[in-house]
């Protein structure tokens, strides 16, 4: 019985792994119809009896301001063009801060955040981290860096019930994602750590400080020229 149970579990794991690989391969070619985070938000509001409209609009990379692409790299993952899905230096720093009892800074890369937003759920657990790592490896194998970044700015949450660059640009600034200025792009990137608490349309002093820091980091990275490294 134990052997049969173990074989059954192994079969389920293998089928799930194969399904995940197929999903990642397909999403390298087509836009996602939705994401795990969007579905969870929709279901949560339905259970509360709320009828909400979730703004999620796919926009191809060439119709998104390069300044926003650069801003999210500057804000979230400055070694994005260099690593293969995992920032080892950031992970080691997070482990050391945890050992010293210091506040933990996020060590998740853009690739890991895409994996989480597309397929997983909020919260912290070893199980979720293992699954997240699996999807991250798959995306780095099947997708280009340009595709990962394109996916990120389309599925990231920028405000309440607002996902993706196009919806955020229209809602907060009344422009398309292609028309975002450097300042607007940096402001959107500023709220990414906590879009439910930080607001691009009513930025706090903290958000404004983050915006100024991100603008400085965008310049330090070399401006739009930095994006060309993704093509090499």
Domain residues of the chain, as ranges? 19-47+55-231
Helix ranges (H only) for the chain are: 2-27, 36-47, 66-76, 88-99, 110-119, 126-142, 145-155, 165-173, 182-190, 205-220
104 pLDDT more than 60: no
Question: Does the pLDDT at position 97 exceed 70?
Answer: no
For residues 130-138, give the mean pLDDT: 96
* Cα 70 from Cα 222, distance rounded (Å): 10
DSSP, collapsed to helix, strand or coil, labels residue 87 as: coil
Q: Is the pLDDT of residue 47 over 80?
A: yes
Instruction: Provide the percentage of residues in the chain whose pLDDT is more than 90.
Output: 78
Cα angle for residues 208, 223, 138 (degrees, 5° grid): 90
pLDDT score at 89: 82
pLDDT score of 101 more than 80? no
Strands of the 157-159 sheet, one edge to the other: 55-56, 162-163, 157-159
Strand 162-163 relative to strand 55-56, pairing: parallel
Q: Does domain 19-47+55-231 have CATH number 1.10.3810.10?
A: yes
C-alpha–C-alpha distance, residues 171 and 184, integer Å: 12
Task: Tell me if 189 sits within 8 A of 71, measured CB to CB.
Answer: yes
Residue 103 above 60 pLDDT?
Answer: no
Tokens describing residue 7: 């074989």
56 CB-near residues (< 8 Å, 6+ apart): 34, 35, 38, 155, 163, 164, 167
What is the rounded CA–CA span in Å between residue 56 and residue 173? 16
With bands split at pLDDT 50, 70 and 90, how would you rate the model's confidence at 99? low
In this model, does residue 14 exceed pLDDT 90? yes
Q: Give the pLDDT confidence score for residue 28 in this predicted structure.
A: 96
70 in Cβ contact with 227 (< 8 Å): yes
Q: What is the per-residue pLDDT for 61?
A: 96
φ, ψ at 158 (rounded to 5°): -110, -5
Cα separations in angstroms, 58 against 76, 130, 152, 204, 230: 21, 28, 11, 28, 21
Cα separations in angstroms, 157 against 22, 64, 167, 230:
25, 16, 10, 23
């Amino acid at each position: 019985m134990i052997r049969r149970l173990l074989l059954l579990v192994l079969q389920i794991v293998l089928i799930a792994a194969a399904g995940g690989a197929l999903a990642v391969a397909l999403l390298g070619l087509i836009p996602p119809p939705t994401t795990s985070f969007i579905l969870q938000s929709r279901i949560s509001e339905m259970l509360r009896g709320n009828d909400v409209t979730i703004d999620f609009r796919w926009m191809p990379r060439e119709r998104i301001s390069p300044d926003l692409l650069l801003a999210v790299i500057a804000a979230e993952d400055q070694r994005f063009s260099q690593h293969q899905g995992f920032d080892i230096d950031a992970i080691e720093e997070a482990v050391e801060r945890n050992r010293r009892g210091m506040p933990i800074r996020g060590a998740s890369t853009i690739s890991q955040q895409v994996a989480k937003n597309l397929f997983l759920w909020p919260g912290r657990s070893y199980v979720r981290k293992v699954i997240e790592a699996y999807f991250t490896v798959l995306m780095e194998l099947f997708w280009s860096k340009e595709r990962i970044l394109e996916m990120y700015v389309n599925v990231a949450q920028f405000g309440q019930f607002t996902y993706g660059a196009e919806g955020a640009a229209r809602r907060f600034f009344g422009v398309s994602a292609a028309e975002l200025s450097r300042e607007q792009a940096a402001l959107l990137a500023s709220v990414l750590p906590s879009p439910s608490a930080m607001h691009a349309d009513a930025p706090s002093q903290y958000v404004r400080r983050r915006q100024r820091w991100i603008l400085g980091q965008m310049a330090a990275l070399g401006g739009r020229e930095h994006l060309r490294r993704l093509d090499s």
